[in-house]
With several copies, the nearest count.
Chain A
């Protein structure tokens, strides 16, 4: 079993995710293997993160600017974004 390498990922937040967490983006160093693992890591940081990530059904995730899911692996990922369902048009 390969040990999980530490990696640096740019994490972005939009709309009410940005407002709840309080910042638009940050560099995160993690050994999480999937988006879901990273979310659990972030949620334990403090109440703002815990609240922002409390209802995953209302959160969408983009991996390197492509819509994706919480099961997506983090290998070679440079940019992650979390946001509510989109409301353009």
Chain B
């Protein structure tokens, strides 16, 4: 159960290998990778990711603990980058390892939903016409609702 903040890129295979660590009780590994997506008109130059050092680790750690208490997981990982990235670059990843695929899928979606709205990250977009902070989406906040029944 690991949380890591870093400026540099990561390799999904290397992270997955470290997560599994040669164990043979895992049947399902789900990974999610968030990537800097260009705008339809190609106008995005770069994305700048700011975070709140200290709180970020705490928030991600408690989201991960919540996932562990809800699903039967063998291991999980959150890696999130900060700083400047260009379109096509990896921003972050989560990985969940479980005996069965249902647990791995549900926990990965849960981690993403909470990370989106409850972990202190902010994105600023630099485009050909200026720079602006990305607005939070109402659907990201609403997405948390679907986990409430299981609480």
Q: List the interface of chain A (C-beta within 8 A of B).
A: 12, 14-16, 18, 62, 65-67, 81, 83-89
Give the contact stretch, choosing among B9-17, B68-76, B119-127. B119-127
Residues from chain A with Cβ under 8 Å of B116 in the complex: 86-89
User: Which residues, 84 to 125 on B, are CB-close (under 8 Å) to A?
Assistant: 91-92, 101, 112, 115-124
Q: List the interface of chain B (C-beta within 8 A of A).
A: 34, 49-52, 54-55, 58-59, 80, 91-92, 101, 112, 115-124, 133-136, 141
On whether the beta carbons of B92 and A65 are closer than 8 Å, the reply is: no
- Give the residue of A14, A16, A85, A87 whose beta carbon is less than 8 angstroms from that of B52: A14
Q: How far is the CA of A66 from the CA of B55 in the complex (A)?
A: 7
On whether the beta carbons of B121 and A89 are closer than 8 Å, the reply is: yes
Residues from chain A with Cβ under 8 Å of B117 in the complex: 85-86
On whether the beta carbons of A89 and B92 are closer than 8 Å, the reply is: yes
On whether the beta carbons of B52 and A88 are closer than 8 Å, the reply is: no
Residues from chain A with Cβ under 8 Å of B121 in the complex: 86-89
- A86-B118, A88-B80 are known contacts. Are A65 and B55 too (CB-CB below 8 A)? yes
Q: How far is the CA of A21 from the CA of B138 in the complex (A)?
A: 26
